[in-house]
Structure 1
Amino acid sequence: MTDKPDTPVKPMTCITVQPHASLCPDGLVFEARQGRKLVDELLAHGIAIEHACEKVGACATCHVHLREGAEFVNPADDEEEDQLDDAWGLDAQSRLSCCVKVKGPALVVALPRYTKNHAREA
C-alpha cells in the first residue's frame, strides 16, 4: 500500500458582492478559488453578469468595481484600460471581471447599475 501525498489545498478568497437591484438583490458572500477569473466565479455562484465577448476582454460588459481588495490582484493592463473607456459608470476602482484573477484574502465587488450592452440575452 502506497501513501498518497497530501493534495495541496488551493487558497480561497472571500468574495462579497454588494447588493444590486436585478443581479444580486440581497448581496452575496462566497469563497472563490484563487487564480480563476472573477467573471467565472460570479457566474458559478448565480450572478448573471454580462460577458458578451465570451470573457476575452473585448467588450466591457463584465465591468465591475473592486471596492476592496484590488491591491491583491494584478493591475489593469493597457488593453483592459482601453476597453474600460467604453464602460458605463467608470471610476478609479473599475475593472473588467474577465481580466481579474481572484487573489488575496478578500474582494468586495460592486456591480454597476447598467452595462453598455443594451439588449440582454436570456
Structure 2
Amino acid sequence: MSGKIKVTFIINDGEEKTVEAPIGLSILEIAHSNDLDLEGACEGSLACATCHVILEEEFYNKLKKPTEAEEDMLDLAFGLTDTSRLGCQIILTEELDGIKVRLPFATRNIKL
C-alpha cells in the first residue's frame, strides 16, 4: 500500500498542525518526523505509555481493538480517556484519512 493521508495533530494549547503522512507508518513516527512533542520513550516497542494520544470516536472505532499488551500500557497513561490509544500502535491506513490526534497535556514516564 502506498500513498499519503492527512493527519491533524491537536497540540495541548488547541493549536492544530495538519501534515501529509505516508500510509503504513505509525502516529508516533509521523509525530517525530514533524517535530511534534510526543515522547515515545521506548521507541515504539510497547514498553511504556509516553506516546499516549486521544482520538475522536469516529477514528477510534475504525481501528482494531487494542491488544492486551497495549491495554496494560494504557493503564499507566496520564489522562486516559475512552478513546485513548498508543501512537506507536496506530498504523496509518487509507480509511484513517483526516484523522485528528490530540496530544495529551502531560505524559507519565515511569522508569524502573
> What TM-score range do you get, normalising by the shorter chain?
0.7 to 0.9
Q: CA 1:13–1:70 in 2, change beyond 3 Å: closer, same or farther?
A: farther
CA displacement at 1:102 relative to structure 2: 1.1
* 2:106 maps to 1:114: yes
Q: Which has the higher helix share?
A: 2
TM (norm. structure 2) is: 0.85
Higher Cα Rg, which structure = 1
Larger RCO of the pair (alpha carbons < 8 Å, separation 6+): 2
Cα distance in 2 between the residues matched to 1:30 and 1:112: 18
Cα distance in 2 between the residues matched to 1:44 and 1:99: 16
- Percent identity for Structure 1 against Structure 2: 32
For residues 74-97 of structure 1, the C-alpha deviation after alignment (integer angstroms, 9 at most, x for no partner) is: 221111001100000101110000
Contact 1:73 1:102 in 2 (8 A): no
Contact 1:20 1:113 in 2 (8 A): yes
Q: Provide the aligned C-alpha RMSD in A.
A: 2.0
CA displacement at 1:27 relative to structure 2: 1.8
Q: CA 1:110–1:14 in 2, change beyond 3 Å: closer, same or farther?
A: same
- State the match for 1:18 in structure 2: 10
Cα distance in 2 between the residues matched to 1:75 and 1:30: 25
